[in-house]
Amino acid sequence: MTTRLNLIYSAVQGSYWMYFGAVLSFASVFLLGKGYSNSEIGVILAAANVLAVLIQPLLADVADRGKRISLIHIVGISSIGLAAGTLSLYLFPGKTLALSILFIIIAALHTSLQPLVNSMAFYLSSSGYQINFGIARSGGSVAYAVLCAILGTLVTIYGIKAIPVTGSMILVLLLVFLSITAGLLKKAAHSKVTEPGAMVLKEKEETINLMAFVRRNKPFIIFSFGILFVFFQNSVLNTYLLQIITEIGGTSGQLGRLFSFMALLEIPGLFFFSKIRSRFSCQVLLKFSSVAFILKIFLVSIAGSVSFIYLAYLFQLISFPIFLSAAIHLVDEVMEKGEAVKGQSFVTGMITMSTVFASLLGGIILDARGASLLLAISTATCVLGTIIVFFSVNRIRGSKDEAVSK
């Protein structure tokens, strides 16, 4: 049962990140093809992420408090809405206000599901079977890499209409995998019920409201702002990589291959994270990976060719997968179950906010001054974020222990 739960959770992660690749990683390609400017794309993506920041705490609160609706149900219901919206993208021939609003809603809802999909690993573990988040998330990266490589070719052949069609097909897969997950979870709970001391599904523990959460976890909140600044550069690269490589002779076909290369590099760090964590604390890994982010964005900023960007992206091996996994596991280690999804939501929320600022500033700077200034600013913000991470991350556990002792 452990193997089956891990495989199906990997499939959930894979389909979630394939959709991200289809609709969000190719957002610039789709919206440019509909006649939007860089600045307009920036406003749309920023608005989507602002909306996601508002939605995420609400979904997290439902997940933390709800007894009749589970994480799986929330993600499933949301995916049905996403499928309807994504298919509707196919109906718009060009730039309109309705298309802008629809894209904002789709991007916001999908982004809001990320902390729930991540928390699902610990939700499934409550059945008594161990779920390996790193391995499952590496499955997401594999699926994302394959999707980006294929979609880049499909867009070249069929145009941007391939994007919403592909996204809708992926959501059907996600719904199938969620249904299988729910079935396996029921079987897992039933098989454990007769074992002495076995957990069936975690009972809802005492939950706290958002303000109490902030008061109890002040160093973690400071650390979250470090995430915001560290991930600004990551958001710039995810949103405006097409515009960046175009200035040095790149094409949309190379965009898909770069995204695939980046995702493949994430796999070792995600897959072997459990072994890495057995030797180093999450705090040490967060410091190490934040420095790797600086090196990556700095090398991209001085790149004169797409080939050099491939070289810069080698730091993806030890930046994104290590930072993301360490942040998620840190939340699970130091927070009680009644506030864990809120903690995951803060991590994802700050990554989302980084996309807000990257989208707004990125589009304006690209139209006014080009990619070089945007990359220089991205490097500086990453340095600032790393300083905050170094200052705050070692204080998180101490603050939690104090809160519990009181």
What is residue 191's predicted lDDT score, i.e. its pLDDT? 61
DSSP 121-187: HHHHHTTTS---HHHHHHHHHHHHHHHHHHHHHHHHHH-TTHHHHHHHHHHHHHHHHHHHHHHHHHH
Q: How many helices (H) and strands (E) does the chain have?
A: 19, 0
**Tens-digit pLDDT profile for residues 352-386:** 788 888 988 888 998 888 899 999 999 999 999 99
Per-residue pLDDT of the chain (406 residues; tens, 9 = 90+): 778 888 999 999 999 999 999 988 899 889 999 999 988 998 999 899 889 878 877 777 776 665 556 778 888 999 999 999 999 998 898 899 999 999 999 999 998 888 888 878 877 877 777 888 878 888 888 899 899 889 988 888 889 999 999 999 999 999 999 999 888 877 766 665 444 444 444 444 455 666 777 777 788 889 999 999 999 999 999 889 988 998 888 777 788 889 889 888 988 888 888 889 889 999 999 999 999 999 999 999 999 898 999 999 999 999 999 998 899 888 877 777 667 667 777 887 788 788 888 988 888 998 888 899 999 999 999 999 999 999 998 887 644 454 444 4
User: Taking Cα atoms as reference points, which of 69, 83, 392, 362 lies closest to residue 239?
Assistant: 362
The pLDDT of residue 54 is 84
Q: Looking at domain 2-195+209-405, does it have CATH number 1.10.357.10?
A: no
3-state SS assignment for residue 113: coil
Rounded to whole angstroms, the Cα distance separating 115 from 106 reads 16
Structure tokens at 330: 């840190």
**Listed residue (7, 18, 267) closest to 143, CA to CA:** 18
Q: What is the pLDDT of residue 126?
A: 72
Which residues are CB-contacts of 346 (< 8 A; sequence separation ≥ 6)? 220, 221, 224
Residue 403: predicted pLDDT: 44
Query: What distance in Å separates the CA atoms of residue 12 and residue 184, rounded to the nearest whole number?
Result: 13
Q: How many residues does the chain have?
A: 406
The answer to whether the predicted template modeling score (pTM) of the entire model surpasses 0.85 is no
